[in-house]
Amino acid sequence: MTQLYHISLRIEHYGCMVDLLSRAGLLEEAHQLIEDMPMQTNAILWGSLLGGCKIHRDADLAEHVLKQLIRLEPWNSGNHVMLSNIFSNSGRWGDAAKLRLEMKAKGVQKVRAYSWVEFNGKVHEFHVGDKSHPLSDQIYTKLDELGMEMKAMGYEPTTEVVMFDIEDEEGAHASASQREDRHCV
């Protein structure tokens, strides 16, 4: 790229390649690209690879990637939760439970998921299972309608595993149809 287009490679270029390779299932190639980079890596690169590990259910590589992410962002609970979900999707329930216990022991707390939506110039914030919004009943009714329409058109949600903390009563009772990401629809 440097010789032909006179563009110096930057970390963003590597990030795009890692993301593309990871999504395509070329996880070892993506990992090798990160390892061979002539510059210092960052959490975005490793996070892209972790996302590919989730898509393609490579729990072993994901475990290695998490170690790199913990080195860079020890406070980021999202990385731990993703690896826990990868373990669960791979049938490694014991490893998932162990990782959750390690998080607790280290004081790494799972951040409650939320979404923001701007509508008519006003920003609305939604949390998992939260029904405090004044239009909550209408929102959930509309979400159910949209969900039925999507299923009628052939959409099949990924429901292999829904992770929640057993101690989190609210999370345990929140149905998959009430996840905050659907509020963005």
Query: Could you read off the pLDDT of 46-102 as tens digits, one per residue?
Result: 999 999 998 999 999 999 998 899 899 988 888 888 888 888 888 899 999 998 898
| Residue 159 token pair | 């429901």
At 150, the pLDDT band (50, 70, 90 cuts) reads very high
Q: Which residue would you say has higher pLDDT here, 126 or 59?
A: 59
Q: Mean pLDDT over residues 149-155, rounded?
A: 92
CA dist 84 and 91 (Å) reads 11
Instruction: Output the CA torsion sign for 120, 149, 24, 80.
Output: positive
Side-chain-side CA neighbours of residue 22 (13 Å): 28
CA atoms within 13 A on the CB side of 44: 8
Task: Using alpha carbons only, give the angle 132, 179, 27 rounded to the nearest 5 degrees.
Answer: 145
What was the pLDDT predicted at 159?
58
Contacts 24+ apart (CB under 8 A), 72-78: 72/41, 72/42, 72/43, 72/46, 73/43, 74/106, 74/108, 75/108, 76/43, 77/103, 77/108, 77/109, 77/110, 77/111, 78/111
Q: Does residue 66 contact residue 80 with C-beta atoms inside 8 Å?
A: yes
| Structural contact between residues 115 and 104, judged by C-beta atoms closer than 8 angstroms | no
Task: Report pLDDT for 15.
Answer: 94
**pLDDT at 170 > cutoff 50:** no
- pLDDT at position 173 over 50: no
Residue 183 has pLDDT above 50, yes or no: no
Domains of the chain as residue ranges with CATH: 2-106 (1.25.40), 114-184 (no CATH)
3-class DSSP state of 147: helix
For 56, 62, 95, the CA distances from 92, given in Å and listed in that order, are 15, 13, 5
| Length in residues, the chain | 185
Residue 165 has pLDDT above 50, yes or no: no
Query: Which residues 6+ apart lie within 8 Å of 185 measured at CB?
Result: 143, 146
Distance between CA atoms of residues 43 and 65, nearest Å: 10
If one compares 115 and 121, the residue with the highest pLDDT of the two is 121
Q: Tens digits of per-residue pLDDT, 20-51?
A: 999 999 999 999 999 999 999 999 999 999 99
